[in-house]
Amino acid sequence: MGKTLIAPSILSADFADFAGAVREIDASGADWIHLDIMDGCFVPNLTFGPKLVADLRPRSSLFFDAHLMVNEPEKLVPAFAQAGADGITFHAEATVHSQRLLTSIRDMGKKAGISVVPSTPAAQIGELLPYADMVLVMTVNPGFGGQKFIPECLEKVRKIAEMRKQQGLDFLISVDGGIQEETAPAALEAGVDVLVVGSAFFAAADKPALVRCLKSGG
Ligand code: DX5
Ligand code: ZN
């Protein structure tokens, strides 16, 4: 659609220095800050809650992209909205009432996102697309940074990009999991707008160079 957006995930940062991570992201030329919220139930890992988001909020003006990997996301969405998230994405697998939740996120003045794990087909979110500002296609099974990219997920990106075109919609498509210089080109070719980058970003010695490389097609 437009230019490629880069969303480093602080999941791979030093958890004792999130403020430093935000400074590094700001200085890198990246566009969004991706915040991975895990509840130990929907995924087998725990991260952080709305207080961290609220405490980081005054430290950056970048778009805060909250990715909720939690069961019953409707219970937590208001707290993340209040904490200063700009976009809130939840999983289609985590609630029966996705349409209602997307609508209520928009009503809170936030960008509404829906995400799917690798085993969930594109068709499962077809009816939800008019209510979404962002669709996050997981390219690993969520829960941890540093996992191997699953290339078959790009077929789903192509299907969702095609559905977007057919329905005349303009939501952004993100991919999350295993994105780095080698995997980004195929994702972009499939129709992705936003690259979430966790371990590759924090491992990069020259972060601005990595961001430039990913933005220019990997
Ligand atoms: C995984 C998270 C991702 C993670 C990506 O469950 O949703 O956002 O931070 O990390 P990498 O880029 O290392 O796969
Ligand atoms: Zn994520």
* The total number of structural domains that make up the chain: 1
Q: What is the pLDDT of residue 1?
A: 60
Mutate to test the pocket of ligand 1, among 6, 10, 11 (most ligand atoms within 8 A of CB): 11
Name the pLDDT band for 89 (thresholds 50, 70, 90).
very high
What average pLDDT does range 116-130 have in this prediction?
98
Q: How confident is the prediction for the chain on average, in pLDDT?
A: 98
Global confidence as pTM: 0.98
Containing structural domain, residue 107? 5-215
Q: Whose CA is nearest to atom 1 of ligand 1?
A: 142
Mutate to test the pocket of ligand 1, among 36, 69, 117 (most ligand atoms within 8 A of CB): 36
Q: What is the pLDDT of residue 53?
A: 98
Q: Which atom of ligand 1 is nearest to the CA of 146?
A: 13
Tens of pLDDT, residue by residue over 69-84, are: 999 999 999 999 999 9
**Alpha carbons 8 and 123: distance in angstroms, whole number:** 28
Residues within a 6 A CB radius of ligand 1 = 9, 11-12, 34, 36, 67, 140, 142-147, 176-179, 196-200
Sign of the CA dihedral 94, 50, 67, 140?
Answer: negative
Q: What is the CATH number of the domain that holds 149?
A: 3.20.20.70
The answer to whether residue 2 scores a pLDDT higher than 80 is no
